[in-house]
Amino acid sequence: MRCEKMESRFLGYLDGRLKESERLEVEKHLANCSPCRLRVNEFRAVSGLLDELPVIEPSEAFNARVHALVVAEPVKQSWWAWLHFSPRIALVASMLLIAALWMGYERPVGPPPMDMAQADAQMMQDLPVLEDHDVLTNFEPLKELPPPVQQTDDDSDSQQHM
Amino acid sequence: MVRTDVQLMLDVKSGDEASFALLLHRYRTPLVNFLYRMVRNREQAEDLAQEVFLRVYRARADYVPSAKFTTWLFRIATNLALNSIRDNRYQKLEDSIDSPARIDSEDGDDRPLDVAEQHPNIEQHLVEDVRVKMIRHAIDKLPEKQRAAVLLHKYEELDYAEIAKILNCSESALKSLLFRAYEALRVELAPLVAHQVRQ
């Protein structure tokens, strides 16, 4: 295999991240190619040099600063969260519901109920009116009257031209 | 039993502040080191690391374990570091040309060159640290994305798929990026590399 194609596998080879088949191909190539063998050794040396950089520790105040930033964050809650976690609100809401049900029970919609004696008295009081209505609807002379004349558009036009 | 990062993060999501403290303890040192090696300024690295943890905390309510926790964490850190490097570069362009000559101090902070400030044993100190300084300098010279790839690969030991996600590129592009970075380091550190190879 050509060196250019092998180069892209050198780091993976050094990391041990190649597939078994790829690793064997690289090793086969390195056995026959001294420039690539040198390059792999140089990359290994670079990797070793990078290990020499010292590790620094965060300052002692680092955690405290992060904690201060986190504490200063505004608390975000959803619309339902405050209702869910507030027993006081839940108590007020349930009391309002009970009050609404009680008022609905005490003040029913519609006229107040009457007892039977009151209903009979009311009917007797309205009886003359009902009798008058019955006489008028069956009065024969009124039935013989011609129907009322309705004014048409033609009539109104002819009247305007006159 | 040791809880996984994802389990800890889910506990943070459900309001457990102690789990957040555990995540902080677990990742504060790798994160500060990664950011320090990216921006080369300790104070700035700590500020950025704090910002990373704050963003993790802010995102707790929407957290879904769709990827590894470290991928998410170092993606935030890498983006913050790259933005910070760009901002610093822009700031340096704006600096006056009349400003005094500067050198890189021990911990990477730029400071004015002042001969009277030199310590009596600075020569010995420099000799001892010459290798480390050369290595730091070689890493600093890498383009930002190559630098991030090398640091995540070498020090955080993340796998290729994770690093590719963090850097928003394909795995093959990442392998190419890493190869070019190691090539640049090999050339930059040639005297040290040659010495290592001979041993």
Check pLDDT > 90 for residue B50: yes
Q: Specify the higher pLDDT residue, B80 or A88.
A: B80
pLDDT at B113 over 70: no
Place of tokens 């009116």: A129
Beta-carbon separation of B179 and A45 below 8 A: no
Q: How confident is the model at residue B117 (pLDDT cuts 50, 70, 90)?
A: very low
Q: How far A34 CA sits from the closest chain B CA (Å)?
A: 14
Nearest CB to A76: which of B20, B61, B178? B61
More confident residue, B156 or A105: B156
Whether residue B46 and residue A41 make contact (CB cut-off 8 A), yes or no, is no
> To the nearest whole number, what is the mean pLDDT of chain A?
80
- Chains A, B: CB pairs < 8 Å: 98
Q: What is the pLDDT of residue B111?
A: 44
Please, which residues have CB within 8 angstroms of residue A13's CB and are 6 or more apart in sequence? A22, A23, A26, A40
For residues B77-97, average pLDDT: 81
Question: What pLDDT digit, counting tens, does each position of B18-38 carry?
Answer: 999 999 999 999 999 999 999
The string over A34-49, giving b where at least 16 C-beta atoms fall within 10 Å of a residue's C-beta and e elsewhere, is eebeebbbbbbbbbeb
Between B96 and B87, residue with greater pLDDT: B87
Q: Which of A17-31, A86-100, A141-155 has the lowest mean pLDDT?
A: A141-155
| pLDDT above 80: residue A130 | no
Residue A121: pLDDT band with limits 50, 70, 90: confident
- In this prediction, residue A123 has a pLDDT band, given cuts at 50, 70 and 90, of confident
Q: How high does pLDDT run on average in chain B?
A: 86
- Reported as a pLDDT band with limits 50, 70 and 90, residue A78 is low
pTM of the model: 0.68
Task: Name the residue with higher pLDDT: B10 or B109.
Answer: B10
- pLDDT, tens only, B58-76: 999 999 898 899 999 999 9
Contacts of A7 in chain B (CB under 8 A): 179
% of chain A surpassing 70 pLDDT? 76
pLDDT at residue A151 in the model: 58
The pLDDT of residue A77 is above 90: no
Share of chain B above pLDDT 70, in %: 81
Q: Does the pLDDT of residue B124 top 60, yes or no?
A: no
Measured between CA atoms, the residue of chain A closest to residue B199 is A45
Residue of B20, B58, B193 with shortest CB distance to A46: B193
Question: pLDDT tier at A124 (50, 70, 90 boundaries)?
Answer: confident
Of B134 and B102, more confident: B134
Q: Does residue A152 register a pLDDT over 50?
A: yes
Which position has the higher pLDDT, A69 or B95? A69
The DSSP element (H or E) to which B111 belongs, if any, is strand B110-112
Which residues on chain A place their C-beta less than 8 Å from a C-beta of chain B? 7-8, 10-12, 17, 38, 41-43, 45-50, 52-59, 62-63, 65-66, 69-70, 73, 76
Percent of chain A beyond pLDDT 90? Answer: 36
For residue B120, the model assigns a pLDDT of 54
Contact B196, B185 (CB under 8 A): no
Confidence check: pLDDT of A116 > 90: no
ipTM, 2 decimals?
0.80
Banded pLDDT at B53 (limits 50, 70, 90): very high
- Residue A49 above 90 pLDDT? yes
Alpha helices in chain B (DSSP H): 5-13, 17-39, 42-58, 69-94, 122-141, 144-154, 160-166, 171-188, 190-198
Q: Is the pLDDT of residue B43 over 70?
A: yes
pLDDT digit string, tens, across residues B135-152: 999 999 999 999 999 999
